[in-house]
Amino acid sequence: MKLREAWRRPEVRFLILFLTILGVSFTTIALHQVNDAFVVPYTAFIADVSGLVLRLFGEQASVNNCVVSSPRFAVTIYNGCNGLITSLIFISGVLAFPARSGAKVVGVFGGLLIIQVINLIRIVSLFYIGVFLPALFNQSHIFIWQSVVILAGVALWVLWAHYLASPADNTS
């Protein structure tokens, strides 16, 4: 099959665009300058919000950069734990999918918000797992919550593509 013919197939076009956008976005956040100027402050913001929620729940939580701590437990939020990777996967899928521009805007901003809420629930629950079930912290962090956040991002994209994106109205 010739490249031109393959490009006409929507699934091929989607896959190529998705992988290109994903590759560019992952490469961009891996750059030292971008990491220092955006990723680290973004992660510190996620830590600040997590600390705020924990204080609302009555914890004596404090935040120092990307570390949320209390007298009972502490969690460090790293780049892979800030929801950014799942957000980039989701955004790449939204931007690559043949949909109206308005649907893409709603998808990007709505998806980012929902993914961050899920990630916030993840961080707070991991804090409490560390407090009450510390022997299960690593398994909960690595096997359960990483999977849940990524699967939630994929499910969110499927819902967006099914209910909000209209590939029949391909005006993107």
Could you tell me the residue ranges of all domains in the chain?
Answer: 3-163
Separation between Cα atoms, residue 64 and residue 140, nearest integer Å: 24
* Sign of the Cα pseudo-torsion (148, 151, 157, 162, in order): negative
Q: Say whether pLDDT at 168 is over 60.
A: no
Confidence of residue 4 (pLDDT cuts 50, 70, 90): confident
Amino acid letter, residue 30: A
Tens-digit pLDDT profile for residues 66-105: 999 999 999 999 988 899 999 999 999 999 999 999 999 9
CA proximity to 102, closest of 35, 41, 166? 166
Q: Say whether pLDDT at 55 is over 50.
A: yes
Q: C-alpha angle with apex 102: 96 to 105, nearest 5 degrees?
A: 65
Q: Say whether pLDDT at 130 is over 60.
A: yes
Confidence of residue 8 (pLDDT cuts 50, 70, 90): confident
Kindly state the DSSP code that residue 141 receives in the 8-state scheme. I
pLDDT of residue 170: 47
Q: Would you call 112 exposed, middle or buried from its count of C-beta atoms within 10 A (0-12, 13-18, 19+)?
A: middle
Confidence of residue 145 (pLDDT cuts 50, 70, 90): very high
pLDDT of residue 2: 72
CA proximity to 49, closest of 129, 111, 105, 127? 127
Q: Would you call 70 exposed, middle or buried from its count of C-beta atoms within 10 A (0-12, 13-18, 19+)?
A: middle
Q: Which residue in this structure is represented by tokens 């924990």?
A: 54
Name 61's Cβ contacts closer than 8 Å, sequence gap at least 6. Answer: 50, 51, 54, 55, 68, 69, 70, 127
